[in-house]
Amino acid sequence: MHVPADNYKVAIIGGGILGTSIAYFMSAHARDPESIVLVEQETNIARHTSSRNTGKVHAPFLYDPVKKKLFAKAAALGYEMWFKFAEQKGLVFKRDGVLEVAVDDRGVDRLCKYMQWGEANGLAKSELRLLGKGEVASMEPNVRCESAIYCSKDASVDYGSLALTLLDDLQSFGCKLVLGQRAMRVSFANNACAITTQQGMEIKANYLVNVAGGNSMDIAHSVGVAQDYTDLHFRGEYWQAPPPYHDLTKLSIYSVPKQPEYPFLDPHWIVRADGRREVGPNAIPVFGPYAYNWRKNLADMLPKLMESSRTGARKVFFDRQFLSLASTELKSSLSKAAMINRVREFLPQIRPAAFITRGTSGIRSSVIDKTGKFVPDTLVLRESSSLHVLNYNSPGATGALPIAAKIASQIMQAGELPAIDKPRSLWDATAIADKMS
């Protein structure tokens, strides 16, 4: 365990893929990288959402270029950046493409909208094709739908491995790492912060970057930031397909979400980088960012209900449509057949009884504003001595490198971290930040 210095220039709370990427760019550009510390509550990085996901590098046709502008730009840049990084490090980057299918007329209308978004977000016509029913059958004979988008610019990776490799680099640059220390209290005095951990350690820094994932809202609230916002947590579960089903498709099959304004996704058929096939995820409302089981969920229930009663989340709990959707998601958790049958809408050959092994569940946190509406894009709030990244969801891993470059560049340009002329990383953070603007 690294013993903290008396005072760092920058402390980053959160060793997920975004926090690790920010530490990577900062330490690559900093004149004194040892003045940066990455603080993570677990005994290693990327233990939660960063490795508990579908493993997809998403193309930006799913993201509204107005409402999700930051996500769309990050996804567009992130694809090529992850490819370059994986290629240099000898990691898996499987360019396998994806089908986004519509099973009814309303879904077909949505596909047409996605085509417009994809073009607006920079995808070439050769990378994005709208297919009729017959064309889908020729490409994937076992898939049933009315229409589909085939996107060739989609890939499969292991984000946990990518994050760990970033960690090797940032430590070689000189960045300090503190593991197994959960930030419980943050205070500011004289434009500097003190982080007190649950384990009793105190870490001091001139500037704080809060990218603590499911805990980021709590940390922001503790220092008086984002008081008009709260978060809700959703557990996504998976079922592993048995080997006889592995040849059903070559591509991952996603379906148009029936309720795009809510954070509920119809389960997908996922082809993973290691060849596994899975069905998932659903999106079950839970009371905490680490409620992977019902015991932990019950322990988190009372504090979350008390917090929600004081914020816009209480309006969500009285929204009939939200409650109906939440009930459907809960059913998909309690009933394997309920979840598998949703995928049978476009892949009718699969049978629930054949699925006997659960995949790894993950939890994402969505931000709600004071009116009770879900915030569609990433929320980055800056104070004089801190920066807080909230609502960082899909395509969060895809866009982690360009968003990290943008954040690192802003902090360095503000004078918080003196920089060198030639960075140690594969990219210049300022150049990437310019592309994100």
Reported as a single tens digit per residue, the pLDDT across 95-149 is 999 999 999 999 999 999 999 999 999 999 999 999 999 999 999 999 999 999 9
What is the phi/psi pair of residue 116, to 5°? -65, -45
Residue by residue, pLDDT tens for the chain (437 residues) are 454 556 899 999 999 999 999 999 999 999 999 999 999 999 999 999 999 999 999 999 999 999 888 889 999 999 999 999 999 999 999 999 999 999 999 999 999 999 999 999 999 999 999 999 999 999 999 999 999 999 999 999 999 999 999 999 999 999 999 999 999 999 998 878 999 999 999 999 999 999 999 999 999 999 999 999 999 999 999 999 999 999 999 999 999 988 777 766 788 999 999 999 999 999 999 999 999 998 999 988 888 888 877 788 888 888 888 888 889 899 999 999 999 999 999 999 999 999 999 999 999 999 999 999 999 889 999 999 999 999 998 889 999 999 999 999 999 999 989 999 999 999 999 999 999 98
How far apart (Å, rounded) are the C-alpha atoms in residues 339 and 382? 40
Element (H, E) at 230: strand 230-236
DSSP helix/strand/coil, 83: helix
Does residue 116 fall inside a structural domain? no
pLDDT at 263: 64
- Residue 148 counted as domain residue: no
CA 25 – CA 28 distance, rounded (Å)? 5
Distance CA 385, CA 191 (A): 6
**Interior angle at CA 142, CA 140 and CA 148, nearest 5:** 50
Per-residue pLDDT, 4: 53
If we measure between CA atoms, which residue out of 105, 101, 95, 116 comes closest to residue 150?
101
Q: Considering the domain boundaries, does residue 215 fall inside one?
A: yes
Give residue 5's pLDDT. Answer: 53
Do the Cβ atoms of 160 and 171 come closer than 8 Å?
no
What is the C-alpha end-to-end distance of the chain, expressed in Å? 38
- Domain contains 237: no
Is 428 contained in some domain? yes
Look at residue 180 and tell me if it is in a domain: yes
Give the CATH number, domain containing residue 427. Answer: 3.50.50.60
- The domain total for the chain is 1
Residue 285 lies in a domain: no
Domain of residue 168, residue span: 1-58+65-93+155-229+377-437
In a domain, 125, yes or no: no
- Whether residue 37 contacts residue 62, with contact meaning beta carbons closer than 8 Å, is answered with no
DSSP state of 200: S
Which pTM value belongs to this model?
A: 0.95
Q: Which residue has the tokens 């940390």?
A: 219
In tens, the pLDDT along 349-391 reads 999 999 999 999 999 999 999 999 999 889 999 999 999 999 9
